[in-house]
Amino acid sequence: MYLTSDVSSYLYEGVTALLAAFAIASAITIVKQKVVLYSAVALAFLGFSTAALIALLSPSAYGIYSVFHVLLYVGATVTFIALTIVLFRGIDVKPSPSAGVALGVVIAVLVAIVTAILIYPSVQASSTVPPALSLTELANQLLDAYWFPIIVLIVGLITTVIEALALARRR
Amino acid sequence: MLVGLIVLSTSIVLIAIGLYGLMSSRNIIRTLLSSEILLNASILFTFTLSYLNGLTYPPVIYSVFAISTALIEVVVAFAAVILYFRSKGSLEVD
């Protein structure tokens, strides 16, 4: 029994590490791939792996959000990006000047180091498991405390539909 | 705990890659895709910190709004990209 629990723990951590590596590889593909359509496909894989990592953190608490992430982000946003890129078929990315690349590397590494220094010491102090998510409680919180942002969001999504129709009609 | 640290490190690396993409590319679409990497990284970061602090609802509510707003932002941004391409004939930023 103990051995089984140990093995499942190793498996859980191994799968998480594998998905993390996959997410990083997808992000590198997005930045480095010359054909932008392949970058959009890699963005879909990044969305899938992000959703899987969120679900793996705590399946009972964040599982529902990870489904939402796949449906809305990968299903709508990435598909829209890929379809739009198809409009620009044949356009590849020209090589950037080396000064921008060097500056990008320096800033990215600096931000990563500073974030890690700021975050890691506080992470080790607390380790409590989040409680399971209840859809009723989530709906109550959204409709009671966040009713105005929801209305703004609905108006924004409606204007998005109108804009998409205008784009499709080429006006 | 180890899983949380793995995911937290991943989100920090993703933030770095997204920033690198934003700084190094002159193509508008590539810049937008890099900002999407940053969006995914920030959501992952929020969930990991909430997981490590035992929170359930705040990250879910925040991320639902963030993802929906990102969808709107992407559509508006790509409309601007299409107009830019029609007027300039190129996707390169000067």
pTM of the predicted model as reported, rounded to 2 decimal places? 0.85
Backbone angles phi, psi at A92, to 5 degrees: -105, 170
| Helix, strand, coil in percent for chain A, rounding step 5 | 80, 0, 15
Decide if A167 and B2 are in contact by the 8 Å CB cutoff: no
> Does B94 contact A at CB distance below 8 Å?
no
Residue type, B25: S
- Token couple for A23: 């997410």
> Does B73 contact A at CB distance below 8 Å?
no
Chain A (89-108) residues lying within 8 Å, Cβ to Cβ, of chain B: 91, 93-94, 96, 100-101, 103-105, 107-108
ipTM comes to 0.90
* Angle, alpha carbons B91-A102-A104 (nearest 5°): 60
pLDDT digits (tens, 9 = 90+) for A26-78: 999 988 888 888 888 888 899 999 999 999 988 888 999 999 889 888 887 77
According to DSSP, residue A154 is labeled H
Domains and CATH numbers, chain B: 2-88 (1.10.287.3510)
State the residue for tokens 């770095």. B16
Decide if A53 and B72 are in contact by the 8 Å CB cutoff: no
Give yes or no for a contact between A74 and A44, defined as CB atoms under 8 angstroms apart. yes
What is the pLDDT of chain B when averaged over all its residues?
Answer: 85
